[in-house]
């Protein structure tokens, strides 16, 4: 089976990328073939609302008509067995690249029928990983569950099964003394990185094992 991991963070070796990689490790431990993609390495744009994917009898019906750096990835996902999408939370939502990627991935498969349906050719096990510097309590105060649940609803409707993993109160930088960031306690953040990140990595690893295992059972 094929499992694709998406790192929607501009950093390739920090919290989000680390957890996505751990999820892929878990899937590989179950025998899956894995691939990690860094969205910020790709040259692409979000949906332009051209509606070519919805045009009756059109050559791009059910698929994105745009051709850019994202096109090969979308083609791979269409034949994959599982997908892991990771993003840090910036200004109360996923990164801009992650949002643009999700528009391009999901909209072509959505049918404006009654009820809404999907043109995705198979069932894709999907998992989201979110990293954020706020605590779980603050995330609820800020209403983060709204966009998280919305992503889950669309993924379940259009792709298949879905689950989410949250990493709260993450460490943002190696050296807090080098940046103007007095809102956070560097001692506390260092402690969180030492104690909580390994636990989050284990949860991500187990998530990957579940994704690969679920596909094995389904097969």
For residues 17 and 9, the answer to whether their CB atoms sit within 8 Å is yes
Task: Name the H helices within the chain.
Answer: 15-29, 71-79, 96-106, 136-141, 144-158, 186-218
Q: What is the pLDDT of residue 176?
A: 87
> Which pLDDT belongs to residue 151?
96
What distances in angstroms separate CA 145 from CA 30, 92, 148, 151, one per listed residue? Answer: 31, 10, 5, 10
**pLDDT in the model for residue 8:** 97
Question: Is the peptide bond prior to 115 cis by the omega test (within 30 degrees of 0)?
Answer: yes
pLDDT at residue 216, as a whole number: 41
Q: Which CA distances in Å does 166 have to 30, 90, 212?
A: 23, 14, 20
Structural domains of the chain, ranges and CATH numbers in brackets: 2-218 (3.40.50.360)
pLDDT of residue 63: 94
pLDDT confidence of residue 219: 40
- From first to last of the 219 residues of the chain, give the pLDDT tens digit: 999 999 999 999 999 999 999 999 999 999 999 999 999 999 999 999 999 999 999 999 999 999 999 999 999 999 999 999 999 999 999 999 999 999 999 999 999 999 999 999 899 999 999 999 999 999 999 999 999 999 999 999 999 999 999 999 998 888 888 888 888 888 998 999 999 999 999 999 999 999 998 644 444
Dihedral sign for Cα 191, 194, 195, 201, please.
positive
* Res 214: pLDDT: 60
């Amino acid at each position: 089976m094929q499992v694709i991991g998406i790192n929607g963070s501009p950093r390739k070796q920090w919290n989000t990328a680390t957890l996505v990689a751990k999820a892929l490790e878990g899937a590989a431990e179950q025998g899956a073939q894995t691939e990690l993609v860094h969205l910020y390495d790709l040259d692409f744009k979000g949906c332009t609302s051209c509606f070519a994917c919805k045009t009756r009898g059109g050559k791009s019906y059910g698929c994105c008509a745009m051709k850019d750096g994202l096109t090969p990835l979308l083609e791979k996902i269409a034949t994959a067995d599982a997908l892991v999408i990771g993003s840090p939370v910036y200004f109360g939502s996923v990164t801009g690249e992650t949002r643009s990627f999700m528009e391009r991935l999901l909209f072509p498969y959505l049918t404006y029928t009654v009820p809404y349906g999907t043109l995705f050719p198979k069932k894709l096990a999907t998992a989201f990983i979110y990293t954020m510097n706020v605590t779980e309590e603050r995330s609820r105060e800020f209403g983060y569950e709204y966009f998280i649940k919305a992503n889950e609803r669309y993924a379940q409707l259009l792709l298949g099964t879905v689950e989410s993993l949250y990493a709260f109160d993450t460490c943002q930088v190696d050296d807090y003394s080098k940046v103007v960031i007095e809102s956070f306690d560097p001692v506390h953040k260092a402690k969180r990185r030492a104690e909580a990140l390994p636990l989050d990595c284990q949860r991500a690893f187990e998530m990957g094992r579940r994704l690969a295992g679920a596909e094995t059972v389904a097969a």
